[in-house]
Protein backbone atom coordinates (compact mmCIF):
# COMPACT_ATOMS: atom_id res chain seq x y z
CA UNK A 1 0.00 0.00 0.00
CA UNK A 2 1.36 3.40 -0.97
CA UNK A 3 -0.42 6.74 -0.54
CA UNK A 4 -3.63 5.00 0.34
CA UNK A 5 -3.68 2.92 -2.85
CA UNK A 6 -4.18 -0.84 -2.98
CA UNK A 7 -3.48 -1.63 -6.63
CA UNK A 8 -5.97 0.48 -8.52
CA UNK A 9 -8.25 0.82 -5.45
CA UNK A 10 -8.33 3.44 -2.68
CA UNK A 11 -7.13 7.02 -2.87
CA UNK A 12 -8.55 10.33 -1.68
CA UNK A 13 -11.37 11.43 -4.00
CA UNK A 14 -12.97 14.18 -1.93
CA UNK A 15 -13.75 17.84 -2.30
CA UNK A 16 -10.97 20.30 -1.53
CA UNK A 17 -12.50 21.23 1.85
CA UNK A 18 -11.87 17.74 3.23
CA UNK A 19 -8.27 17.33 2.08
CA UNK A 20 -6.86 19.27 5.03
CA UNK A 21 -8.81 17.15 7.54
CA UNK A 22 -7.63 13.91 5.92
CA UNK A 23 -3.98 15.00 5.83
CA UNK A 24 -4.21 16.12 9.46
CA UNK A 25 -5.65 12.72 10.41
CA UNK A 26 -3.01 10.82 8.43
CA UNK A 27 -0.23 12.75 10.11
CA UNK A 28 -1.72 12.38 13.60
CA UNK A 29 -2.22 8.63 13.16
CA UNK A 30 1.36 8.10 11.97
CA UNK A 31 2.71 10.16 14.86
CA UNK A 32 0.47 9.13 17.75
CA UNK A 33 -0.42 5.46 17.08
CA UNK A 34 3.10 4.00 17.49
CA UNK A 35 3.83 5.81 20.77
CA UNK A 36 4.11 3.74 23.95
CA UNK A 37 1.58 6.03 25.63
CA UNK A 38 -1.07 5.44 22.96
CA UNK A 39 -0.43 1.70 22.77
CA UNK A 40 -0.70 1.36 26.54
CA UNK A 41 -3.96 3.31 26.80
CA UNK A 42 -5.50 1.59 23.79
CA UNK A 43 -4.63 -1.94 24.89
CA UNK A 44 -5.73 -1.26 28.47
CA UNK A 45 -9.11 -0.10 27.18
CA UNK A 46 -9.44 -3.12 24.89
CA UNK A 47 -8.67 -5.40 27.82
CA UNK A 48 -10.35 -3.86 30.84
CA UNK A 49 -13.29 -2.11 29.18
CA UNK A 50 -13.78 -4.17 26.02
CA UNK A 51 -13.06 -7.59 27.48
CA UNK A 52 -10.24 -8.64 25.14
CA UNK A 53 -8.88 -11.10 24.32
CA UNK A 54 -12.13 -12.61 23.06
CA UNK A 55 -12.14 -16.42 23.22
CA UNK A 56 -11.47 -18.74 20.29
CA UNK A 57 -14.19 -21.30 20.89
CA UNK A 58 -14.05 -24.86 19.54
CA UNK A 59 -17.59 -25.46 18.25
CA UNK A 60 -17.78 -29.19 18.90
CA UNK A 61 -21.35 -29.85 17.80
CA UNK A 62 -21.00 -27.69 14.68
CA UNK A 63 -17.75 -29.53 13.86
CA UNK A 64 -19.33 -32.95 14.26
CA UNK A 65 -22.15 -32.07 11.87
CA UNK A 66 -19.93 -30.63 9.11
CA UNK A 67 -17.10 -33.15 9.46
CA UNK A 68 -14.16 -30.79 10.07
CA UNK A 69 -12.98 -28.65 12.98
CA UNK A 70 -14.73 -25.30 13.35
CA UNK A 71 -13.61 -22.58 15.76
CA UNK A 72 -15.56 -19.38 16.40
CA UNK A 73 -13.66 -16.16 17.18
CA UNK A 74 -16.07 -14.69 19.70
CA UNK A 75 -16.25 -11.00 18.79
CA UNK A 76 -19.90 -11.20 19.90
CA UNK A 77 -18.50 -11.24 23.43
CA UNK A 78 -16.73 -7.90 23.04
CA UNK A 79 -18.48 -5.19 25.10
CA UNK A 80 -21.30 -3.79 22.95
CA UNK A 81 -21.82 -7.10 21.17
CA UNK A 82 -19.63 -6.84 18.06
CA UNK A 83 -16.13 -6.24 16.70
CA UNK A 84 -16.93 -2.56 16.09
CA UNK A 85 -15.60 -1.46 19.51
CA UNK A 86 -11.95 -2.25 18.59
CA UNK A 87 -11.90 0.49 15.98
CA UNK A 88 -14.18 2.89 17.85
CA UNK A 89 -11.94 2.90 20.94
CA UNK A 90 -8.83 3.41 18.81
CA UNK A 91 -10.24 6.31 16.80
CA UNK A 92 -11.92 8.01 19.77
CA UNK A 93 -8.64 7.95 21.67
CA UNK A 94 -6.83 9.34 18.63
CA UNK A 95 -9.45 12.09 18.22
CA UNK A 96 -9.07 13.08 21.88
CA UNK A 97 -5.30 13.32 21.49
CA UNK A 98 -5.82 15.44 18.36
CA UNK A 99 -7.84 17.89 20.48
CA UNK A 100 -11.23 17.13 18.88
CA UNK A 101 -14.37 17.72 20.92
CA UNK A 102 -17.00 15.78 19.04
CA UNK A 103 -17.45 12.53 17.10
CA UNK A 104 -19.78 12.03 14.18
CA UNK A 105 -20.44 8.79 12.39
CA UNK A 106 -22.97 6.74 10.49
CA UNK A 107 -24.34 3.34 11.31
CA UNK A 108 -26.60 0.74 9.72
CA UNK A 109 -26.92 -2.23 12.06
CA UNK A 110 -26.40 0.21 14.93
CA UNK A 111 -23.40 -1.77 16.22
CA UNK A 112 -20.88 0.81 15.07
CA UNK A 113 -23.04 3.69 16.36
CA UNK A 114 -23.27 1.99 19.71
CA UNK A 115 -19.51 1.38 19.83
CA UNK A 116 -18.89 5.02 18.91
CA UNK A 117 -21.02 6.51 21.68
CA UNK A 118 -19.45 4.09 24.19
CA UNK A 119 -15.95 5.14 23.10
CA UNK A 120 -17.00 8.81 22.93
CA UNK A 121 -18.27 8.73 26.51
CA UNK A 122 -15.04 7.16 27.76
CA UNK A 123 -12.97 9.81 25.99
CA UNK A 124 -15.25 12.73 26.97
CA UNK A 125 -16.40 13.48 23.41
CA UNK A 126 -19.95 14.33 22.30
CA UNK A 127 -21.37 11.89 19.76
CA UNK A 128 -23.79 12.35 16.88
CA UNK A 129 -24.93 9.36 14.81
CA UNK A 130 -26.31 9.61 11.27
CA UNK A 131 -28.66 6.76 10.49
CA UNK A 132 -30.98 6.02 7.56
CA UNK A 133 -34.67 6.00 8.51
CA UNK A 134 -35.07 2.44 7.25
CA UNK A 135 -32.23 1.27 9.49
CA UNK A 136 -33.64 3.22 12.46
CA UNK A 137 -36.82 1.20 12.07
CA UNK A 138 -35.20 -2.22 11.69
CA UNK A 139 -32.51 -1.78 14.34
CA UNK A 140 -34.72 -0.15 16.97
CA UNK A 141 -33.03 -1.82 19.94
CA UNK A 142 -29.64 -0.36 19.09
CA UNK A 143 -31.20 3.08 18.53
CA UNK A 144 -32.63 2.95 22.07
CA UNK A 145 -29.25 1.88 23.47
CA UNK A 146 -27.43 4.72 21.67
CA UNK A 147 -29.96 7.27 22.94
CA UNK A 148 -29.70 5.97 26.49
CA UNK A 149 -25.92 6.39 26.29
CA UNK A 150 -26.41 10.01 25.25
CA UNK A 151 -25.87 10.00 21.48
CA UNK A 152 -27.80 12.40 19.29
CA UNK A 153 -29.41 10.45 16.44
CA UNK A 154 -29.78 12.23 13.12
CA UNK A 155 -32.36 10.44 10.91
CA UNK A 156 -31.39 10.44 7.22
CA UNK A 157 -34.32 10.56 4.82
CA UNK A 158 -32.42 11.07 1.57
CA UNK A 159 -32.05 8.26 -0.98
CA UNK A 160 -33.28 4.92 0.27
CA UNK A 161 -32.70 5.90 3.92
CA UNK A 162 -29.91 3.33 4.38
CA UNK A 163 -26.16 3.28 5.07
CA UNK A 164 -24.99 4.67 1.71
CA UNK A 165 -27.14 7.78 2.28
CA UNK A 166 -26.01 8.16 5.90
CA UNK A 167 -22.31 8.02 4.83
CA UNK A 168 -22.90 10.76 2.23
CA UNK A 169 -24.60 12.99 4.84
CA UNK A 170 -21.84 12.40 7.42
CA UNK A 171 -19.12 13.33 4.90
CA UNK A 172 -21.10 16.49 4.09
CA UNK A 173 -21.39 17.39 7.79
CA UNK A 174 -17.67 16.72 8.34
CA UNK A 175 -16.73 19.15 5.59
CA UNK A 176 -18.38 21.89 7.69
CA UNK A 177 -16.90 21.06 11.11
CA UNK A 178 -13.68 19.05 10.78
CA UNK A 179 -11.70 21.54 12.90
CA UNK A 180 -13.52 20.44 16.06
CA UNK A 181 -15.03 17.14 14.99
CA UNK A 182 -13.66 13.71 14.07
CA UNK A 183 -15.54 11.49 11.62
CA UNK A 184 -15.18 8.08 13.26
CA UNK A 185 -15.39 5.89 10.15
CA UNK A 186 -16.88 2.51 11.01
CA UNK A 187 -15.44 0.26 8.34
CA UNK A 188 -12.46 -0.08 6.01
CA UNK A 189 -14.01 2.32 3.51
CA UNK A 190 -13.84 6.01 2.67
CA UNK A 191 -10.87 8.11 1.56
CA UNK A 192 -7.30 7.48 2.74
CA UNK A 193 -6.30 7.21 5.60
CA UNK A 194 -9.56 5.71 6.94
CA UNK A 195 -9.26 2.19 5.41
CA UNK A 196 -5.74 1.81 6.82
CA UNK A 197 -6.61 3.21 10.25
CA UNK A 198 -9.67 0.97 10.66
CA UNK A 199 -7.83 -2.17 9.48
CA UNK A 200 -4.96 -1.42 11.86
CA UNK A 201 -7.25 -1.07 14.88
CA UNK A 202 -9.19 -4.22 13.91
CA UNK A 203 -6.09 -6.37 13.34
CA UNK A 204 -6.12 -7.16 17.06
CA UNK A 205 -8.65 -9.88 16.05
CA UNK A 206 -6.24 -11.70 13.73
CA UNK A 207 -3.27 -11.28 16.06
CA UNK A 208 -5.24 -12.98 18.82
CA UNK A 209 -6.45 -15.74 16.46
CA UNK A 210 -2.86 -16.57 15.49
CA UNK A 211 -1.75 -16.88 19.09
CA UNK A 212 -4.85 -18.78 20.23
CA UNK A 213 -4.87 -21.35 17.41
CA UNK A 214 -1.21 -22.14 18.05
CA UNK A 215 -2.03 -22.66 21.73
CA UNK A 216 -4.97 -24.94 20.91
CA UNK A 217 -3.82 -26.79 17.79
CA UNK A 218 -0.11 -26.06 17.47
CA UNK A 219 -0.53 -24.94 13.87
CA UNK A 220 -2.10 -22.38 11.54
CA UNK A 221 -5.75 -22.81 10.48
CA UNK A 222 -6.57 -23.99 6.94
CA UNK A 223 -9.25 -21.37 6.41
CA UNK A 224 -10.72 -18.20 7.90
CA UNK A 225 -14.26 -17.22 6.95
CA UNK A 226 -15.67 -13.73 7.59
CA UNK A 227 -18.80 -11.88 6.57
CA UNK A 228 -18.42 -8.33 5.36
CA UNK A 229 -19.47 -5.23 3.54
CA UNK A 230 -16.79 -2.55 3.97
CA UNK A 231 -14.49 -5.29 5.24
CA UNK A 232 -13.43 -4.30 8.76
CA UNK A 233 -14.01 -7.56 10.65
CA UNK A 234 -12.63 -9.54 7.72
CA UNK A 235 -9.46 -7.48 7.31
CA UNK A 236 -9.03 -7.46 11.08
CA UNK A 237 -9.02 -11.26 11.06
CA UNK A 238 -7.11 -11.68 7.76
CA UNK A 239 -4.28 -9.15 8.18
CA UNK A 240 -1.77 -11.34 10.05
CA UNK A 241 -2.46 -14.24 7.65
CA UNK A 242 -2.15 -12.48 4.29
CA UNK A 243 1.40 -13.73 3.77
CA UNK A 244 0.58 -17.20 5.13
CA UNK A 245 -0.34 -18.66 1.77
CA UNK A 246 -1.49 -21.98 3.21
CA UNK A 247 -4.40 -20.23 4.95
CA UNK A 248 -7.45 -19.82 2.69
CA UNK A 249 -9.36 -16.59 3.27
CA UNK A 250 -13.10 -16.32 2.48
CA UNK A 251 -15.09 -13.07 2.40
CA UNK A 252 -18.87 -13.58 2.46
CA UNK A 253 -21.09 -10.72 1.34
CA UNK A 254 -24.86 -10.35 1.38
CA UNK A 255 -26.37 -12.23 -1.57
CA UNK A 256 -29.84 -10.96 -0.64
CA UNK A 257 -32.74 -12.76 -2.36
CA UNK A 258 -30.91 -13.51 -5.61
CA UNK A 259 -28.08 -12.05 -7.68
CA UNK A 260 -30.26 -9.60 -9.63
CA UNK A 261 -29.00 -6.08 -9.02
CA UNK A 262 -32.30 -5.00 -7.40
CA UNK A 263 -32.25 -7.80 -4.83
CA UNK A 264 -28.65 -8.17 -3.70
CA UNK A 265 -25.70 -6.55 -1.96
CA UNK A 266 -23.09 -8.85 -3.54
CA UNK A 267 -20.85 -6.17 -5.01
CA UNK A 268 -18.13 -8.65 -5.96
CA UNK A 269 -20.64 -10.56 -8.08
CA UNK A 270 -22.65 -7.75 -9.66
CA UNK A 271 -20.46 -4.65 -9.20
CA UNK A 272 -17.39 -3.11 -10.79
CA UNK A 273 -14.70 -0.59 -9.73
CA UNK A 274 -15.73 3.04 -9.33
CA UNK A 275 -15.43 5.97 -6.91
CA UNK A 276 -17.71 5.77 -3.91
CA UNK A 277 -17.44 7.88 -0.75
CA UNK A 278 -13.99 9.21 -1.53
CA UNK A 279 -12.20 6.12 -2.77
CA UNK A 280 -12.03 3.67 -5.68
CA UNK A 281 -13.66 0.42 -4.73
CA UNK A 282 -15.75 -2.42 -6.06
CA UNK A 283 -19.34 -1.17 -6.04
CA UNK A 284 -22.79 -1.79 -7.47
CA UNK A 285 -23.52 0.79 -10.18
CA UNK A 286 -25.70 1.27 -13.21
CA UNK A 287 -24.45 1.62 -16.78
CA UNK A 288 -24.07 5.39 -16.30
CA UNK A 289 -21.86 4.92 -13.24
CA UNK A 290 -24.55 5.90 -10.72
CA UNK A 291 -24.37 3.91 -7.48
CA UNK A 292 -27.31 1.54 -7.14
CA UNK A 293 -28.89 0.74 -3.79
CA UNK A 294 -27.96 -2.67 -2.38
CA UNK A 295 -30.42 -5.07 -0.78
CA UNK A 296 -30.04 -7.66 1.98
CA UNK A 297 -31.95 -8.37 5.19
CA UNK A 298 -28.74 -7.76 7.20
CA UNK A 299 -28.55 -3.99 7.70
CA UNK A 300 -24.81 -4.11 8.39
CA UNK A 301 -24.08 -5.73 5.01
CA UNK A 302 -26.38 -3.44 3.08
CA UNK A 303 -23.76 -1.20 1.49
CA UNK A 304 -23.10 -1.13 -2.26
CA UNK A 305 -19.29 -0.86 -1.94
CA UNK A 306 -16.40 -3.03 -0.75
CA UNK A 307 -13.45 -1.23 0.81
CA UNK A 308 -10.29 -0.71 -1.28
CA UNK A 309 -8.08 -3.24 0.48
CA UNK A 310 -10.59 -6.09 0.40
CA UNK A 311 -11.38 -5.18 -3.24
CA UNK A 312 -7.69 -5.50 -4.07
CA UNK A 313 -7.17 -8.76 -2.16
CA UNK A 314 -10.14 -10.32 -3.95
CA UNK A 315 -8.93 -9.05 -7.32
CA UNK A 316 -5.49 -10.64 -6.92
CA UNK A 317 -7.07 -13.88 -5.70
CA UNK A 318 -5.64 -13.82 -2.16
CA UNK A 319 -9.16 -13.64 -0.72
CA UNK A 320 -12.07 -15.57 -2.24
CA UNK A 321 -15.20 -13.44 -2.68
CA UNK A 322 -18.31 -15.42 -1.75
CA UNK A 323 -21.91 -14.71 -0.80
CA UNK A 324 -24.85 -16.19 1.09
CA UNK A 325 -28.53 -15.72 0.24
CA UNK A 326 -31.01 -14.45 2.84
CA UNK A 327 -32.82 -17.79 3.22
CA UNK A 328 -29.49 -19.59 3.79
CA UNK A 329 -28.60 -16.97 6.40
CA UNK A 330 -31.83 -17.41 8.39
CA UNK A 331 -31.35 -21.18 8.32
CA UNK A 332 -27.78 -20.68 9.55
CA UNK A 333 -29.14 -18.64 12.47
CA UNK A 334 -31.41 -21.55 13.40
CA UNK A 335 -28.52 -24.01 13.01
CA UNK A 336 -26.10 -22.17 15.28
CA UNK A 337 -28.83 -21.48 17.87
CA UNK A 338 -29.56 -25.20 18.05
CA UNK A 339 -26.03 -26.64 17.83
CA UNK A 340 -24.05 -24.15 19.88
CA UNK A 341 -26.71 -22.17 21.81
CA UNK A 342 -25.59 -18.87 20.27
CA UNK A 343 -27.75 -16.24 18.56
CA UNK A 344 -25.61 -14.62 15.86
CA UNK A 345 -26.08 -11.23 14.25
CA UNK A 346 -27.61 -11.62 10.78
CA UNK A 347 -24.33 -10.30 9.34
CA UNK A 348 -22.31 -12.96 11.17
CA UNK A 349 -24.72 -15.69 10.08
CA UNK A 350 -23.58 -15.10 6.47
CA UNK A 351 -20.20 -16.61 7.33
CA UNK A 352 -21.87 -19.57 9.06
CA UNK A 353 -24.21 -20.04 6.07
CA UNK A 354 -21.30 -20.13 3.66
CA UNK A 355 -19.53 -22.87 5.62
CA UNK A 356 -22.74 -24.90 5.86
CA UNK A 357 -23.64 -24.59 2.17
CA UNK A 358 -20.22 -25.09 0.57
CA UNK A 359 -18.84 -28.44 1.73
CA UNK A 360 -16.79 -28.60 -1.50
CA UNK A 361 -14.53 -25.86 -0.08
CA UNK A 362 -13.50 -27.79 3.04
CA UNK A 363 -11.72 -31.09 3.84
CA UNK A 364 -12.10 -33.46 6.77
CA UNK A 365 -8.71 -32.54 8.30
CA UNK A 366 -9.31 -28.79 7.98
CA UNK A 367 -9.30 -26.33 10.86
CA UNK A 368 -11.72 -23.56 9.91
CA UNK A 369 -12.14 -20.34 11.86
CA UNK A 370 -15.32 -18.29 11.54
CA UNK A 371 -15.07 -14.73 12.76
CA UNK A 372 -18.22 -14.54 14.89
CA UNK A 373 -18.49 -10.79 14.41
CA UNK A 374 -21.57 -10.01 16.51
CA UNK A 375 -24.51 -11.20 18.53
CA UNK A 376 -28.09 -11.20 17.33
CA UNK A 377 -30.16 -9.38 19.97
CA UNK A 378 -30.69 -6.52 17.52
CA UNK A 379 -32.08 -8.93 14.89
CA UNK A 380 -34.49 -10.98 17.00
CA UNK A 381 -37.63 -9.33 15.57
CA UNK A 382 -36.44 -9.74 11.96
CA UNK A 383 -35.56 -13.39 12.60
CA UNK A 384 -38.92 -14.18 14.23
CA UNK A 385 -40.77 -12.39 11.44
CA UNK A 386 -38.91 -14.47 8.84
CA UNK A 387 -39.74 -17.81 10.46
CA UNK A 388 -43.18 -17.15 11.92
CA UNK A 389 -44.45 -14.02 10.19
CA UNK A 390 -45.04 -12.31 13.56
CA UNK A 391 -43.16 -11.37 16.73
C1 LIG B 1 -22.04 -7.75 13.56
C2 LIG B 1 -21.55 -7.18 12.29
N3 LIG B 1 -20.75 -7.92 11.50
C4 LIG B 1 -20.27 -7.44 10.32
C5 LIG B 1 -20.60 -6.16 9.88
C6 LIG B 1 -20.07 -5.70 8.56
O7 LIG B 1 -19.14 -4.66 8.65
P8 LIG B 1 -17.61 -4.87 8.29
O9 LIG B 1 -17.54 -5.37 6.88
O10 LIG B 1 -17.03 -3.53 8.44
O11 LIG B 1 -17.06 -5.85 9.25
C12 LIG B 1 -21.43 -5.35 10.67
C13 LIG B 1 -21.79 -4.00 10.25
O14 LIG B 1 -22.53 -3.29 10.86
C15 LIG B 1 -21.91 -5.88 11.91
O16 LIG B 1 -22.71 -5.14 12.71
Any ligand 1 atom below 6 A from CB of 294? no
Closest protein CA for atom 6 of ligand 1: 228
**Cα-based distances in Å from 280 to 13, 50, 168, 308:** 8, 33, 15, 6
Q: Domain locations in the chain?
A: 5-46+83-199, 52-81+203-388
Any ligand 1 atom below 6 A from CB of 80? no
Q: Would the pLDDT of 311 be above 90?
A: yes
DSSP letters spanning 49-102: II-PSPPEEE-HHHHHHHTSEEEEEEGGGSTTSBTHHHHHHHHHHHHHHTT--E
DSSP state of 45: I
The pLDDT assigned to 389 comes to 84
CA 107 to ligand 1 centroid distance, Å: 10
The pLDDT assigned to 245 comes to 97
Any ligand 1 atom below 6 A from CB of 195? no
Average confidence (pLDDT) over 110-131: 98
Average confidence (pLDDT) over 24-50: 98
Average confidence (pLDDT) over 82-90: 98
Q: Would the pLDDT of 3 be above 90?
A: no
Mean pLDDT of the chain: 96
Atom of ligand 1 minimally distant from the CA of 234: 11
Average confidence (pLDDT) over 99-118: 97
CA 350 to ligand 1 centroid distance, Å: 11
Any ligand 1 atom below 6 A from CB of 109? yes
CA 233 to ligand 1 centroid distance, Å: 7
Q: What is the pLDDT of residues 173-220, one digit of tens each?
A: 999 999 999 999 999 999 999 999 999 999 999 999 999 999 999 999
Give the CATH architecture of domain 5-46+83-199: 3-Layer(aba) Sandwich (3.40)
Any ligand 1 atom below 6 A from CB of 348? yes
Catalytic positions: 84, 106, 373
Name the band, by pLDDT with cuts 50, 70 and 90, for residue 295.
very high
Average confidence (pLDDT) over 13-19: 95
Closest protein CA for atom 14 of ligand 1: 300
Percent of the residues in the chain that have a pLDDT greater than 70, as a whole number: 99
Let me know: does 12 contact 279? Beta carbons within 8 Å: yes
Atom of ligand 1 minimally distant from the CA of 188: 10
Closest protein CA for atom 5 of ligand 1: 300
Name the band, by pLDDT with cuts 50, 70 and 90, for residue 18.
very high
Name the band, by pLDDT with cuts 50, 70 and 90, for residue 305.
very high
Lowest mean pLDDT among 84-98, 237-251, 255-269: 255-269
Q: Would the pLDDT of 1 be above 70?
A: no
The pLDDT assigned to 390 comes to 62
The pLDDT assigned to 234 comes to 99
CATH for 52-81+203-388? 3.40.50.1100
Percent of the residues in the chain that have a pLDDT greater than 90, as a whole number: 96
Closest protein CA for atom 10 of ligand 1: 232
Q: Would the pLDDT of 2 be above 90?
A: no
The residues that bridge with 252 in the sheet, in sequence order, are: 227, 322
207 CB-contact burial (10 Å; exposed 0-12 / middle 13-18 / buried 19+): middle
Q: Would the pLDDT of 391 be above 70?
A: no
Closest protein CA for atom 15 of ligand 1: 300
Name the band, by pLDDT with cuts 50, 70 and 90, for residue 262.
confident
The pLDDT assigned to 261 comes to 79
Same fold, 5-46+83-199 and 52-81+203-388: yes
Amino acid sequence: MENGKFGKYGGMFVSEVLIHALLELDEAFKKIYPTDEFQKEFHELLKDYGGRPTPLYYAKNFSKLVGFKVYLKREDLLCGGSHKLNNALGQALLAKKMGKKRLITETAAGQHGLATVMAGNICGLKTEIFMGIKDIERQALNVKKMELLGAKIKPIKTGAGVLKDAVSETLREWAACSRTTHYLMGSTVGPHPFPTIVATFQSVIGNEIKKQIFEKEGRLPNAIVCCGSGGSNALGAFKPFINEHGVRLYFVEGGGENLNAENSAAAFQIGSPCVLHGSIMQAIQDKWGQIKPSKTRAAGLNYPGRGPEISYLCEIGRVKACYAFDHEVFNAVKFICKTEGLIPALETAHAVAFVLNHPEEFHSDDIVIINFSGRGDKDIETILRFFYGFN
